[in-house]
Amino acid sequence: MALDEGVWEFFKEHLGYNDEEMKKFVWDTLSGGQVIPGFGHAVLRKTDPRYMAQREFCLKHLPDDPLFKYVDLIYKVTPPILQEQGKAKNPWPNVDAQSGVIQWYYGLTEYEFYTVLFGIGRALGVVSNIIWDRALGYPIERPKSITTAMMEEIAGIKK
């Protein structure tokens, strides 16, 4: 499915934002109880290096792309606002704040597949660890099979 018309209309409406308009949009979004997607990370407390690699790619190869310009403006105005608001432990962008721009630019406009690509990347990481385990002669890792009843007993919920 192509990008939902409502989503595309939203982007077209907001693509020409200047700094002040974007700041107001971010504040309004946060004040409405929503988050700014693509900002924050469960572990990192700095800008995600994957985001920076993709940002550098965009600066070099698609600096005039309207979606990249939009994301670039969000990158410039959002972290100081999140710091001022004080709720976010990490006000910096993660890889999700940038990856969709590149995927859209190169024709992957079915945004439902973005999560699939993320999962494939994770799977490749797991597989590479398994290959290293075999190469280094480590034993095969077998997760313990535990039933819900066993977990409840361990947690002291059920005896």
Residue 152: how many CA atoms within 13 Å on its side-chain side?
6
What's the pTM?
0.69
Q: Tell me the three state secondary structure of residue 93.
A: strand
- The H or E element containing residue 113 is helix 113-135
**Which backbone phi and psi does 153 adopt, to 5 degrees?**
-65, -45
pLDDT of residue 27: 93
pLDDT of residue 56: 96
Overall average pLDDT of the 135-155 stretch: 85
What is the tally of helices (H) and strands (E) in the chain? 7, 0
Separation CA 150–CA 159 (nearest Å): 9
Highest mean pLDDT among 2-6, 15-19, 111-115: 111-115
pLDDT digits (tens, 9 = 90+) for 33-88: 998 888 877 777 788 888 999 999 999 999 999 889 989 999 999 999 999 998 88
Tokens for 10? Answer: 């939203």
DSSP string, 70-118: HHHHHHHHHHHHHHHH---S--SB-THHHHHHHHHHTT---TTHHHHHH
When the pLDDT of each residue in the chain is averaged and rounded to a whole number, the result is 85
Q: Cα angle vertex 87, ends 16, 12, to 5°? A: 15
